[in-house]
């Protein structure tokens, strides 16, 4: 009886397993498929931006200003895509890759769009960050799909923005394996172009030093185009492009705006034009006046005006601080004249003094840099001379002077003891004595500049008082107001006037 019952139970278990195990296995497979399907749905679906020539999103050469050198370099690519036979009969081939590098907002993407439109090629734009995902193989698959689409619709241009997101130097670590695999696929695609594919790859990056060397070699990115912030002529052209269609008043001087915006990029200038239009619209005007551009420049350069409650004591300190900067600018700098001084808070600054260069300069002498340090420290010197104590308001000035003195000694060889070599902070082979000498040279420069600032504040105390009292009364002084207050005070430094002047040789006259 017992053996029969055991056999019966075993038979039932066997029948249950034969009946329900396949069902349970099938159900498990369904759950796995559902989970995979949900995972696929969670994957971001990113498609490249496609722009066809002549569409509303296309860009023409006339819309690209301030990039004359880059446009001349890219014109060859345009000519090749338009008429490839003219170059093929000479054995030439189109550059496979062109890399734009430079500061943000200088027009790298705009230049690539213009090349595509002028050459009649399709334009495929994709951010490199879209290729880097947590799912293994997804980035490489997207790169393959992008290049397949570009080859299918040749002639075409593939533009990869922020290339450093995927093209960073490979580390070989396991946690970067997906990024390395994506970069490897990009390198394979760049090598896979035939001479007749008529596909040009353009990349843009703000960090050229971080890119993998294999990506930069000839045959992949053949050309590197540096796009820098425009000079005065370029800024004037950019302002002309961005004011098309905007009603300007008769008093608008775009040349003056271009002169006051040294160092700004094309994106900054476009923002200034837009802010000026918004300011005019806020006043319900029918045209944009020069005052609107002045407001826009203050907002973009210095920041949003802050309505801070400042005591009379602090206001007096601010007035003398900015008066010190303005007076020292008049006395010490010949190429960067003071244009405005204000004690109205903007951004993080409680007040500021605006200096504008008279000309575009790329080389500066040691004497000019020392004069600039004197101007920067003149605000603190004015506080010391007038009130007998200093405040924390000069923190940013001290930081600027320290950085400049460090560069002069560490990189430019402008110290007194070491004039023929650099002593960079990342050079760990320097001896302790050399490091000590380097720090002493840096301190000597800043201390000398502060001593000079104290001297001129004491010497020209009446002019300092006049400017400070005017700032307390009006809060903002223009260049004309400042020149009237300076009166007959003559500049003391002529360092900028002697730049490029050849020294006369004391040649002995032959005996007669």
Please list the active-site residues: 322
Closest CA relative to residue 170, chosen from 122, 119, 212, 139 = 212
Q: Is 203 helix (H, G, I), strand (E, B) or coil?
A: strand
Cα dihedral: 153, 157, 163, 166 (round 10): 20
Q: What is the helix (H) or strand (E) element at residue 353, kind and residue range?
A: strand 352-357
Give dist(CA 426, CA 424) in Å, integer: 5
Give dist(CA 13, CA 235) in Å, integer: 86
List, in order, residues 6 or more apart from 464 with CB less than 8 Å away: 320, 323, 324, 327, 382, 385, 386, 457
Phi, psi of 414 (to 5 degrees): -105, 20
Q: Is 36 helix (H, G, I), strand (E, B) or coil?
A: helix
CA distance to 6, 8, 9, 11, 13, per residue, from 1 (Å): 9, 11, 12, 15, 19
The three-point CA angle 229-231-232 to 5° equals 135
């Amino acid at each position: 009886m017992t053996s029969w019952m055991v056999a019966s139970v075993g038979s039932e278990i066997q029948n249950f397993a034969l009946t329900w195990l396949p069902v349970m296995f099938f159900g498990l497979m369904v759950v796995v498929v559902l989970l995979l399907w949900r995972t696929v749905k969670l994957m971001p679906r990113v498609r490249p931006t496609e722009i066809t020539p002549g569409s509303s999103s296309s860009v023409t050469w006339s819309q690209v200003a301030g990039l004359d050198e880059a446009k001349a370099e890219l014109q060859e690519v345009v000519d090749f895509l338009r008429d490839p036979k003219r170059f093929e009969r000479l054995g030439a081939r189109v550059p496979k890759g062109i890399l734009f590098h430079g500061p943000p907002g200088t027009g790298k993407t705009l230049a690539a769009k213009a090349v595509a439109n002028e050459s009649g090629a399709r334009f495929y734009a994709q951010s490199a960050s879209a290729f880097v995902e947590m799912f293994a193989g997804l980035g490489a698959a997207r790169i393959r799909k992008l290049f397949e689409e570009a080859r299918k619709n040749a002639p075409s241009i593939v533009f990869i923005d922020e290339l450093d997101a995927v093209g960073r130097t490979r580390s070989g670590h396991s946690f970067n394996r997906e990024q390395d695999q994506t970069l490897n696929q990009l390198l394979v695609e760049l090598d896979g172009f035939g001479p007749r594919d008529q596909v040009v790859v353009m990349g843009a990056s703000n960090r050229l030093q971080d890119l993998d060397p294999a990506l930069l070699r000839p045959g992949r990115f053949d050309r590197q185009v540096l796009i820098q912030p425009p000079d005065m002529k370029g800024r004037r052209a950019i302002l002309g492009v961005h004011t098309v269609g905007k009603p300007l008043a008769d008093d608008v001087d775009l040349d003056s705006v271009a002169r006051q915006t040294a160092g700004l990029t094309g994106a900054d200038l476009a923002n200034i034009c837009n802010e000026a239009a918004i300011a005019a619209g806020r006043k319900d005007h029918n045209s944009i006046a020069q005052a609107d551009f002045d407001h826009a420049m203050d907002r973009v350069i210095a920041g949003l005006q802050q309505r801070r409650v400042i005591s009379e004591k602090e206001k007096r300190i601010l007035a003398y601080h900015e008066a010190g900067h303005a007076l020292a600018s008049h006395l010490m700098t010949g190429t960067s004249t003071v244009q405005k001084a204000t004690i109205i808070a903007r951004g993080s600054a409680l007040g500021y003094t605006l200096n504008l260069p008279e000309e575009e300069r790329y080389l500066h002498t040691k004497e000019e840099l020392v004069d600039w340090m004197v101007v920067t420290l003149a605000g603190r010197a004015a506080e010391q001379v007038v009130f007998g104590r200093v405040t924390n308001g000069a923190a940013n000035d001290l930081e600027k002077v320290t950085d400049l003195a460090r560069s002069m000694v560490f990189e430019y060889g402008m110290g007194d003891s070491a004039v023929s070599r650099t002593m960079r902070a990342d050079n760990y082979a320097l001896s302790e004595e050399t490091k000590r000498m380097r720090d002493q040279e840096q301190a000597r420069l800043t201390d000398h500049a502060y001593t000079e600032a104290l001297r001129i504040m004491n010497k020209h105390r009446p002019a300092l008082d006049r400017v400070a009292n005017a700032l307390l009364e009006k809060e903002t002084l223009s260049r004309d107001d400042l020149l009237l207050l300076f009166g007959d005070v003559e500049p003391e430094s002529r360092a900028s006037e002697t730049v490029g002047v050849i020294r006369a040789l004391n040649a002995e006259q032959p005996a007669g």
